[in-house]
Amino acid sequence: MNSFRKYIFPGLYGLTTYLSIRLLLDTVTGMKFWERPLQMNVLEFSLSFLSGYLLIGMHHWLHRYFDRHWSDDADYRKRVLKELGVITVATIIFQNCTLTPWAALTDDGLQWYDVADINVIPLLYSLIYYGFSRSNNFLQAYVSNKVKLQQVMNDQLQAELKFLKAQLHPHFLFNALNTIYFQMDEDVNAAKKSVEQFSELLRYQLYDQQQTVSIRHEIQYLHSFINLQKVRASDKLVLNVRFDTALYEQEVYPLLLFPLVENAFKYVGGEYWINIAASLENNTVHFVVENAVPEITMTAGVGGIGLENLRRRLQLLYPGKHSFDVSRTARTFRAALSIQPELVALQTVTTEEDEDKMRHHG
């Protein structure tokens, strides 16, 4: 198609322009151009064929000139009007420099209808070609700008997601290191075990580059975190954890469940209990975390930056496919998250290592 437009179309354009002029002139004068000397007709056809390449070449040169000298944010109405004016003047000058002298030297000389046809018909074709050519260019530029804008927006969203995800780390690192620090004075072996769990958590956060992860891995991550927090928690903490095994075939974006569990351990107080439950209903993941809080936290507010970041991540990752509700009473804080993830096409194969981890965490 590009070869046709580049090598064949300009010649056909010139011949079409010439034949249109010839047809109109012969209709007015009664002349039959095929009865003219063959040599003259061949010469006129050849000149018209060549003029098509020259005129199309002039169009493309002017288009490049317009693109270089007029910015993309210019008023398109003014731009098109200016371009039409330049194309009109350039076409009239071109046709009068090529066709008018030829008409004056052939047949019955230059007549008023020759001048009219030479200036009107080529100009009409030139403006039609400009309309098709530039509308295609403007459409391509519009689509290209939309694609670039969409790419910029995607890059911004990805950067924001990475930033929000990174904000989960400082609280978690501080609490985990505090736990290990206190264990070093009491039980070195327990501290070593905590370091191993801590390294597993860091590995999941730092090195897992998947877009989405199976909830199986999210649950393993939560178990590691919970086990690490249980070491630091008071003996009076009552912890209830229930994870539905039907969840394992689902995939979610990583570290969406973690802020709710972290928040519960951070603010637990009062009667000192935490309930964590995850289930699957109608292909929707439901994750609920409840914890007791002392009454004084009602005025201070329970939650913080972790839950606010979670809200923003959910808006970016699951627009229209999630619900997140937070409620509190005098002695209870409850966070409920529901997500509609994509179902994994093939069921994840459980390795022996995964089974050992699940038995260990359970």
Confidence at 202, pLDDT banded by 50, 70, 90:
confident
What tens digit of pLDDT does each residue of 226-282 get? 888 887 777 889 999 999 988 888 888 888 888 899 889 888 888 999 999 999 998
pTM summary value:
0.51
Query: Which amino acid, residue 203?
Result: R
Residue 131 contacts residue 84 (beta carbons within 8 Å): no
Classify strands 213-214 and 251-252 as parallel, antiparallel or unpaired. antiparallel
Query: Which amino acid, residue 180?
Result: I
Give 179 or 321, the one with higher predicted confidence.
321
pLDDT of 351? 37
Q: Residue 336 pLDDT more than 90?
A: yes
HSE-up (13 A, CA, CB side) for residue 89: 6
3-state secondary structure of 283: coil
pLDDT of 52? 87
User: Comparing C-alpha atoms, which of 281, 232, 239 is closest to residue 261?
Assistant: 239
**What average pLDDT score do residues 306-331 get?**
87
What tens digit of pLDDT does each residue of 111-161 get? 887 788 888 888 898 888 888 887 877 677 667 777 776 766 666 666 555
Give the span between the Cα atoms of 264 and 252, in whole angstroms.
Answer: 21
DSSP H helices, the chain, are 2-3, 9-29, 38-69, 76-105, 112-166, 169-186, 188-207, 215-232, 258-267, 297-300, 305-317, 352-361
Q: What percent of the chain has pLDDT over 90?
A: 14
**What average pLDDT score do residues 297-323 get?**
74
Please identify which residue in the block is written with the tokens 């039959």. 32
Q: Residue 299 pLDDT more than 60?
A: no
Give the span between the Cα atoms of 59 and 45, in whole angstroms.
Answer: 21
Taken in order of first residue, the domains within the chain and their CATH numbers are 2-155 (no CATH), 167-361 (3.30.565.10)
Confidence at 89, pLDDT banded by 50, 70, 90:
very high
What tens digit of pLDDT does each residue of 5-61 get? 778 888 888 888 888 888 887 777 777 777 777 888 888 888 888 988 998 899 889
